[in-house]
């Protein structure tokens, strides 16, 4: 099977990222012109590979928590018993967009201290809105005939939700999760300002020491991760959509 140019480019980016994380010293000749006064070329205050794993871990935990809460709220407000809570739910999930992550960090640090916890709170709040809105859209725009057919064969409300509604809405929900993940990948870098272990540590070290090579390393790793994860989740969405018969093959 012949691979298309975009696929080849992404595979090349993945291979380049893995090579850099495992053997950053190979790239010293390329990065050397970006440094002055014999400054270190490759980030030397920690392992880039470990920082990348820690960065992804924070994003994963925050996105998982945001998905659970946002999906639960979307399910609640799309049931007759919870429809009246829609305005309140929208207000709650908008908190993260109303207060910038930096402001959330500033408020959280005095209460819970430095480290990963303030960053997790900021990413959790910031990731709620896209997941909630997409889940709400997916659950309120289901094919009426399919839902009625499920009711007609005797499914109760719980069975319809788990076996019909959520599977049909899954591609739209995943699109919201994808957006939340990409936002969190970039936003997590500011967590290093409150001592969280993220790739922002590399960028901040470069800014403090005026080392452009450090800044470029941290920024490129985050950027490549964002592109690859975005494309990977997009591919999963397309597969799910085709299986549900809501996208052209």
The pLDDT value recorded for residue 248 is 45
The whole-chain average pLDDT of the chain stands at 87
Distant-in-sequence, close-in-space partners of 1: CB < 8 Å, separation ≥ 6: none
Contact 21, 48 (CB under 8 A): yes
> How confident is the model over 93-105, as a mean pLDDT?
81
- pLDDT tens digit sequence for 54-82: 999 999 999 999 999 999 999 999 888 88
Distant-in-sequence, close-in-space partners of 160: CB < 8 Å, separation ≥ 6: 147, 150, 151
Decide if pLDDT at 249 tops 50. no
Q: Considering only CA atoms, which of 196, 189, 186 is closest in space to residue 112?
A: 196
| 163: alpha, beta or left? (left if phi > 0; alpha if psi -120 to 50) | alpha
- pLDDT tens digit sequence for 137-196: 999 888 888 878 877 887 888 888 888 888 889 989 999 999 999 989 988 998 888 888
SS3 track for 73-142: HHHHHCCHHHHHHHHHHHHHHCHHHHCCHHHHHHHHHHHHCCCHHHHHHHHHHHHHHHHHHHHHHHHHCC
The pLDDT value recorded for residue 155 is 81
CATH topology of domain 47-243: MetI-like fold (1.10.3720)
């Amino acid at each position: 099977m012949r691979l298309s140019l975009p696929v080849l480019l992404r595979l090349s980016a993945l291979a380049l990222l893995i090579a850099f994380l495992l053997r950053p010293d190979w790239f010293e000749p390329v990065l050397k012109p970006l440094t002055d006064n014999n400054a270190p070329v490759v980030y030397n205050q920690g392992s880039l590979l470990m920082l990348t794993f820690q960065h992804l871990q924070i994003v994963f935990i925050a996105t998982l928590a945001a998905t659970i809460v946002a999906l639960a709220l979307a399910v609640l407000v799309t049931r007759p018993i919870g429809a009246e809570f829609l305005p309140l739910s929208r207000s709650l999930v908008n908190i993260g967009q109303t207060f910038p992550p930096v402001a959330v960090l500033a408020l959280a640090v005095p209460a819970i201290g430095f480290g990963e916890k303030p960053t997790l709170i900021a990413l959790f709040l910031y990731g709620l809105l896209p997941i909630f809105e997409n889940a709400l859209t997916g659950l309120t725009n289901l094919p009426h005939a399919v839902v009625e057919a499920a009711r007609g064969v005797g499914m109760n409300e719980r069975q319809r939700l788990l076996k019909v509604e959520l599977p049909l809405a899954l591609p739209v929900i995943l699109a919201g999760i994808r957006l939340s993940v990409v936002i969190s990948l970039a936003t997590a870098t500011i967590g290093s300002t409150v001592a969280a272990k993220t790739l922002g540590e590399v960028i901040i070290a470069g800014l403090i020491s005026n080392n452009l090579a450090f800044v470029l390393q941290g920024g490129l790793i985050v950027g490549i991760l964002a592109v690859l994860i975005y494309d990977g989740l997009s591919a999963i969405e397309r597969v799910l959509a085709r299986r549900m018969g809501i996208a052209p093959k």
